[in-house]
Structure 1
Amino acid sequence: MYKKVSLSIIACLVILLLGSNKCLSQAKRVPAKEIKMTVLPGLRFDVPRFHVQPGQQVHINFENTDDMDHNLLVLKPGTREQIVNLAAKLGAQGMAKSYVPESSSILWHTKILHGGQKERLSFTAPKEEGIYPYVCTFPGHGHVMYGAMYVSKVEKLPELAHDPNIPKQSSHSDHQQHQHKNHPYELVPPYYYRLYIEGASPAAIAVHLPGQLSYCWDASLSDLRFLWKGEFVDNAALWKGHKDAKAKILGDIFYQEKRLPSLSLLGVNSIVKRKFKGYKVLKDKYLEFHYQLNELDIYETIRETPDRKGIVRSFRIPKLSSDLQFNYTKTDGVQCFFKGKPLTTETLKLSSSEGRVFSVEYKINK
Structure 2
Amino acid sequence: MPIRNLSLRFKAFRGGRRVTKELLSFINLYADNTHPQLRTKVEELIDEFESAHEAKKVLHICCYQNDQKLGFLTASIYEESKLCIFDECAIARELRSLPAFTALTDFGERFVEENYNVETFLVEVSSTSKQDVGGVSGPSLARLLKVIGFQLALFKYEMPHAPLAFEKKKKPDYLMIKDISGKSFISKDRLVEIIKLIYFTHYREWIKRYESESYYAEYSIYVQSKFEEICAELGEVNIIQLDGDNIIRNDYVLSRKMEKKSGQTSENHKFIINILMVVFPAIITIISGVQLGPLIIIPIAVLIILVVILAMIFPQLREKIVKAFQ
TM-score, reference length from structure 1: 0.28
Greater strand percent: which structure?
A: 1
Greater helix percent: which structure?
A: 2
Q: Which has the larger radius of gyration?
A: 1
- Bigger RCO (CA 8 Å, 6+ sep): 2
TM-score, reference length from structure 2: 0.31
